[in-house]
Amino acid sequence: MSLNEKYVLVTGSSRGIGKGIALKLAESGAKVAIHYYQNEAAANDTLAQVRELGSEGFVIQADVTRPEEISRMFNRVRDEFGALDIFVSNARPELPGFYQAPLDITLEQWDTAFDSQAKAFLVGVREAASIMRDGGRIIALTYATGSRTGGLQPWVGMGSAKAAMESLVRYFAVALAKRGITVNAVSPGWTEDTVLNSLPQEAQDLIRNWHARGWTPMGRLGTPADIGNVVALFCSEDAGWITGQVIFADGGASLMSPEVPPEIQLG
């Protein structure tokens, strides 16, 4: 699959899943704008790896909770690239900014979750659409399990914000369909090199061991490269008839029943 002459913006691409996506699209020939909020060194490292893959790009800083900074970011993309073909909305704040149970979450934490997800996606897609060429691709990174369940109590702000973002995916898919622009969401399962690694080591070990013994049928956690591969598929011309969907990329974890131990389910 070739993405030569395609221009890409991936928010939150200095590290983790965003970096995995940026590198995969660069490997396919796309030129990539690497967005970061605080870690400029990590963003520059991602850009260096993009160049090692034979592609090009640039680094841009922005706080995606602030609409005026999102606008500035897209103006820079227009100035550097002249157009846009792929927009991946991936950025999120660090855990302390939003991670609190529903009876304790502050309005500031709630606003941080929504401003960084639903509002940032609303503003970002509007800005992207103004410079995106027909036939483009817009992809949001979500966590659909957290949007539809209530067990992980401190995820209430982010889960609610992701649910709103998933709804926007469907509305924008209809709004942009006549231009051949598809809008979809990718929902990774637990993935290495992400929020998982900010949890206490004991929690990390419990999650990894649980998935390895069967909660993920493929027997491991995902990697940023896994998610990059999925996003690349949806950026191909062959995916032009798929829009408004939430796609699970989790090694089968979303197929498991929470009421039955994995050892019984897997026989």
**45 in any annotated domain:** yes
Give which of 28, 43, 35 is closest to 72, Cα–Cα: 35
In a domain, 225, yes or no: yes
Q: What is the DSSP string of 82-145?
A: SSEEEEEE-----GGGT---TTT--HHHHHHHHIIIIIHHHHHHHHHHHHEEEEEEEEEE--HH
* Closest C-alpha to 129, from 69, 185, 174: 174
Q: What integer pLDDT is reported at residue 242 of this predicted model?
A: 98
pLDDT of residue 257: 84
Q: Which CATH number does the domain housing residue 110 bear?
A: 3.40.50.720
The number of folded domains in the chain is 1
Element (H, E) at 205: helix 201-210
Residues in the chain predicted with pLDDT less than 70, given as ranges, are 267
Return the pLDDT at 262: 76
3 state DSSP class of 245: coil
pLDDT digits (tens, 9 = 90+) for 184-235: 999 998 898 887 777 778 888 888 888 888 788 999 999 999 999 999 999 9
Q: Which residues are within 8 A (CB) of 220 and not within 5 positions of it... i.e. 6 or more apart?
A: 211, 212, 251
Rounded-to-integer distance, Cα 125 and Cα 89, Å: 9
Q: What pLDDT is recorded for position 223?
A: 95
Residue 262 covered by a domain:
no
The boundaries of the domain holding residue 50 are 7-248
Q: What is the pLDDT of residue 204?
A: 84
In a domain, 130, yes or no: yes
pLDDT of 214: 79
